[in-house]
Chain A
Amino acid sequence: MAKKVNKETLDNVTIRFAGDSGDGMQLSGGRFTQTAAIVGNDLSTLPDFPAEIRAPAGSLAGVSSFQIHFSSQEIHTPGEKPDVLVAMNPAALKVHLSELKSGGTLIINKNAFNPKNLKLAGYETDPTEDGTLDDYYQAHFIEMSKLVTLACEGIDLSPKLVDRTKNLCALGVLFWIYDRPLEPTIEWLKNKFKNKDEIIEANINALNAGYNYGETAELFTTRYVVEKAKLPAGRYRNMNGTLATCLGLLAAVEKSKMSLTFAGYPITPASNILHTLSNWKKFGIKTFQAEDEIAGIGAALGASFGGSLGVTASSGPGIALKGEFLGLTLITELPVVIINVQRGGPSTGLPTKTEQSDLFQAVYGRNGDAPTPVVAATTPGDCFFTTYEACRIAVKYMTPIIVLTDGYLANGSEPWMIPNSKDLIDFEVNFEKENDSDEKHQPYKRNKDTLARNWAIPGTKGLEHRIGGIEKEDGSGNVSYDSDNHEHMTYTRAQKVANIANEIPPTEVYGKKKGDLLILSWGSTHGSCKVATEKLLAENYKVGHVSLKWINPFPSDLGKILLNYEKVIIPEINRGQLRYLIRAEYLINAIGLNEIKGRPIGASTIMNKCKEILDG
C-alpha cells in the first residue's frame, strides 16, 4: 500500500553528516555533493575532521563531519546552522546537536546508541529514548546497522565490513527525502571498488535499503525538492580548492610551454597537492617528495635556476621552515611559487581546521627588507585562477610569490564554471639567448618596465654567471658590499614588487559604490561577506563589499575606494592582520571582526556586527 507523500519545494538546504572518523561521513558528504552538482544545484561544502587518523571509536574527539549547503539560487557559503543533522553515533549527536536549527530534521543511527557509546559521549540517559529530542526536532531513529545487515544477507562479507556500509544507508535516506537520483552514486561505487564485487553489492544494497526505508516508513511524509540553480550559463563541474590549485599549475605549464617541478614535504592540509600532481607526469610535471620543508623549497629554487618553474606547497609550520630560502629566492630574483594552505596556528595548532592567521608571515616573515608578492584565493574554484596568475607573475617579475589558500578552500567545493584555456591571459617566458659576443653577460640587467632581471639558464652558451645570497651589484651580479649599491638594490627589489600593481585589474565593488560601510575581506571570507552584504542591501543599508586577492602589493585603486565609505569593517579568521596592514598603509581606522574558531565566519555573524555598527 502506497503511503501519501507530500512534495514541498525549498530554496536551499544545509545538511550536516556527522559520525565517527571511521563511519565514512566524508564519503557520504562527497557523494551527496556530487549528486547535488549533477542535479544542477548551486552548492558549497565544508568538511571538518579530527587531526587524528583514528581517534578512539565513539569518542567526542573522533567525530568527523561534512556540511553541504545546496540551493536553487546562487550561494557563497557552506551555510551556518544545518537544517538536517545526520548523527551516526551519540558522540556525533553530542558535538553537533546544539547547531541544528530548532525544528530541524535529525536522522540517527539508532543501533549506535548503546550503553558504551552513550557513556563515551557523556550521556546519562539515552536521548533517543527519553523523548527530549522529539520536543524540538523532527527526529528519525533508524536502525541502520540492522537495515544493512538484512540488506546484505547472503553476501560473502564479514559482519564488520557489512556494518561499514551504513553510511550509504544514511545517504540513501537523504536521497529519498531530497528526491535525488541514485545512479551517479551506484556508478561511482562500481568504479571505486572495481573487482571487489561483494563490496560493490553490499554498498548498493545499503544505499537502496536507506532509500526504500524512506519510501516505506510511515515516519517520512514529505519529500523536498530543491530545483536547479539559475547560475550563469555555461558548463559546470564541482570543484575543490586542492584540485583547482593543481589545475592552475597545469594551466601554467600548458600556457607557458615550460616544465614545472613541484617539491614538497607531507603536511596537512597541503599534501593532496603533491598527490594530485604526482599523477600528472605526462604533462611534464616532475614531483619530488623532499626530506623536509626546507629541501622542498630548495629543490624548487634549484629547478627554477635550471629553467623549470619551481613550486612548493605547505602550511604555516612548513612555511616557517622555508623562510630563509624565501629570502634567497628573493635576492637571487628567481621565480618560485610558494603555496600556503593555511591552518590553525601557532605551532602545530589545529592542523585540520581553517584559519587566516599566516598573513603576517606571508607579508613579513623573513629577515632583512624582503618584499614578497602575496596573493590570496577567495573561493575553492578561484584557487585555479589565483595559482595560474601567481605563476605568471612570478616568471614575469622574477620573484618568489606566496599564494594563500586555507583548509576550508582546499577541502571545500563549489560548482565551477569551466573556463576555456584560450581565455586565460598569455603566459610568456623569455629565457636569455646564447651569447657569442665578447661582452660579458649581465645577470642583473633589468627590464625597464617591470624591473625584472633576465633569466639565463645553465646549459646556455656564453651566459655563465654566478648568483647567491650575498648582495649583488646591480647589472653585473657580482658580489658587492658597497653601501650605496645595497640601498639601491633594497629599493629596486621593493619597487619591482610594487610594479606588480600594474597587473591588477580595477577593484570590483559589490553593492553601494559609496556609502556608510565597506566590508573588506581577503581570501576565503569572501563568501560570508558577500552573503552578509546581499542581506544588508536587501534591508536598504548603504554597504559595499570588496574582496581582496592581492595583499602585496595592494590594488592601486584601493585607497580611493576606502575613502568612499564612512566606515570600513574587516572580518578575518585571525586577530586583525589585514586590518593592521590597512591601517598602516592607508591611515584609516578600520574596524575588526575577528572570530578564530577554526571554521569560516558565518554570514549572520558578519551581518549582525555590521548592523551594530550601522544602527549604533
Chain B
Amino acid sequence: MAEKPTLKKSDFQSDQAIRWCPGCGDYAILAQTQKVFPEITEKKEDTVFISGIGCSSRFPYYMNTYGFHTIHGRAPTVASGLKLANPNLSVWMVTGDGDGFSIGGNHLIHLLRRNININVMLFNNRIYGLTKGQYSPTSEQGKVTYSTPMGSLDYPFKPTQLVLGAQGSFVAKTIDKELKHLQSMIRRANDHNGTSFIEIYQNCNIFNDGAFGTLTDRDTKADKLLYLENGEPMIFGNDKDKGIILEGSKPKVVKIGKKYKVEDILVHDETDPLIANMLSNFTANPNFPEPLGVLFCSERPTYDDLMADQMSKANEQPKQTLDDMLKAGDTWEVE
C-alpha cells in the first residue's frame, strides 16, 4: 500500500484485558499482528479472527475486529462456513498444536486441500498449555509431562510436512522472537490467494520453556536458522559460510569455501514442491538448520472462487419463483 495507512495499531487493540501468562510468546505474536494490520487492511470491519480452544485461541478477544472463539479443534469449519457465506471477508484463523493437529486435525487437512482463502496462524509451543502441561502431537518423543511421567510414546508431526501433504498452497514458518520476520510472514500470508498456513514457533515459558532455545539464543541461532528467500541460495551460519547442496536427491550441509562455492548452493524456489518437502523435513533434524520463511507458495484455484463461478453459472439458468417451484411436476386440480 503506497499511501499512509488510515488505521493505526491501536485501532486493532480491543479493550479486553489480556490474560496470557507474563512472558508468553503469544504477546509478541499479538503485537506484531496488530502492527501489520493497518498496512494490510483499510477496513477492520471486514476482518474476522476465528479460533478454537487453547491459549492461542484467546487471540480473537484481543483483536478489535470481528472475532469468534469457537470450540476445540473446530475453527476451520466455522471459518470455512463464514468465508463461503461472505467471500469478501478477510478471514484469519488462530490455532495451536493441540487444537489444530490433534482434536482438529481432520478439519485442518480438509481446509488445506480445499484451498479456501483463509489465513491460518499455528502457534506451535509443542505442549498443551491451557490444560496445564500435557504433551502435544508436536512434542518430541520421550517428553516427560503430567500425563507421561515415563516419557511420551507418540512420534511427533512435523506440521509443515503434514500441511504440504494436505495440499497446502502456502506454507511458511517463523518464530515468536523474530519480530520483523513474523511481520513479513503475516504480510505474505495475506497476499496469497488460497489457504495460507504459517507455523509460528512460540515459547510457553510455563510448561515448555526453552523448547526453541537453540533457535532463539543469540549464541546459537545463526547456526541453527536458515532464512529462506525466494531465488536466493540457502546460506546460513554466523559468517554466512554454510549452505545446503543437493547430492543426487539428498540434501547436505556444506561449508562454503574451497570445495563449495556460493554458486553450488541450492537456490530456493518456493513454487517447487520437492524443495518444500525437503525443507519441511529439516524440522527437528539435528543435521540441518531450521528453515524460516516461505517454504512453499503456489497459487491454484480456491474453493471460494470455484464456488462463486458455479453460483454465477447457476444464475444464468431460467428464472423461477418460489411459486414456480411449489407448482412444479405433475399437478392436478380438485374442484
Contacts and interface: CB of A to CB of B under 8 A. Distances in A.
B66 A465 contact: yes
Nearest to B81: A302
B106 A298 contact: no
B71 A469 contact: yes
Interface in A462-511: 462-470, 478-479
A56 interface: no
A237 B323 CA distance: 13
A466 B14 contact: yes
Given A325-B71, A467-B67, A250 B106 contact: no
Contact of A464 (B66, B74, B76, B326): B66
Interface stretch (B85-93, B152-160, B185-193, B241-249): B85-93
Interface in B35-74: 43-46, 48, 50, 53, 60-61, 63-71, 74
A247 B329 CA distance: 13
B3 interface: no
Given A237-B331, A286-B311, A458 B46 contact: yes
Interface in A222-279: 228-238, 247, 250-251, 254-255, 259, 261, 263
A40 B334 contact: yes
Interface string B81-113: 111111011000000000000000011001000
A608 to B, nearest CB: 33
Contacts of A259: 85
A309 to B, nearest CB: 9
Contact of B81 (A38, A184, A292, A303): A303
Nearest to A286: B84
Nearest to B65: A464
B1 interface: no
A250 B325 CA distance: 9
A159 to B, nearest CB: 33
B167 to A, nearest CB: 14
A303 B321 CA distance: 24
B134 interface: no
A298 B71 CA distance: 9
Given A238-B330, A294-B77, A324-B71, A305 B82 contact: yes
Nearest to B66: A458
B317 interface: yes
B80 interface: yes
A463 B45 contact: yes
B109 to A, nearest CB: 8
Among the interface residues B44, B50, B320, B325, which one has the most CB atoms of the partner chain A within 10 A? B325
Nearest to B79: A302
B85 A467 contact: no
A288 B86 contact: no
Nearest to A295: B77
Interface residues of A, number: 75
Nearest to B82: A302
Contacts of A467: 67-69
A95 interface: no
A306 B314 contact: no
Contacts, number: 206
Contact of B323 (A261, A292, A297, A421): A421
A37 B331 CA distance: 8
Interface in A164-220: 184
A420 B327 CA distance: 9
B317 A466 contact: no
Contacts of B50: 302
A467 B74 CA distance: 15
B263 interface: no
B315 interface: yes
B70 A310 contact: no
Nearest to A417: B334
A38 B332 contact: yes
B333 interface: yes
Contacts of A543: none
B327 to A, nearest CB: 6
A300 interface: yes
Given A233-B334, A310-B81, A468-B68, A461 B45 contact: yes
Nearest to B315: A282
B86 A459 contact: yes
Given A40-B334, A251-B322, A461-B43, A303 B85 contact: yes
Contacts of A255: 322
A458 B80 CA distance: 14
Interface in B160-175: none
A350 interface: no
Interface string A319-363: 000001101100010000000000000000000000000000000
A281 B84 CA distance: 13
Among the interface residues A233, A307, A467, which one has the most CB atoms of the partner chain B within 10 A? A467
A291 B44 CA distance: 31
B46 A459 contact: yes
A450 B83 CA distance: 30
B285 interface: no
A302 B85 contact: yes
B310 interface: yes
A592 B81 CA distance: 43
A529 to B, nearest CB: 25
Contacts of A38: 330, 332
B16 A478 contact: yes
B83 to A, nearest CB: 8
B239 interface: no
Contacts of A286: 84-85, 307, 311
A37 B330 contact: yes
Contacts of B333: 234-236
A228 B333 CA distance: 11
Given A184-B330, A286-B307, A307-B85, 15 more contacts: A233-B335, A235-B332, A236-B332, A250-B325, A254-B321, A282-B320, A290-B77, A292-B107, A304-B81, A305-B81, A458-B82, A464-B66, A466-B16, A467-B68, A468-B67
Interface of A: 34, 37-38, 40, 184, 228-238, 247, 250-251, 254-255, 259, 261, 263, 281-284, 286, 288, 290-292, 294-295, 297-308, 310, 324-325, 327-328, 332, 417-421, 440, 457-470, 478-479
Query: 5 nearest interchain CB pairs?
Result: A298-B77, A302-B81, A468-B69, A299-B81, A281-B314
Interface of B: 14-16, 43-46, 48, 50, 53, 60-61, 63-71, 74, 76-86, 88-89, 106-107, 110, 307, 310-311, 314-315, 317, 319-323, 325-335
21 contacts: A34-B330, A235-B333, A282-B319, A284-B311, A286-B84, A286-B85, A295-B80, A298-B70, A298-B74, A303-B84, A305-B78, A308-B85, A325-B74, A328-B71, A418-B326, A419-B326, A457-B86, A461-B43, A464-B64, A466-B68, A479-B16
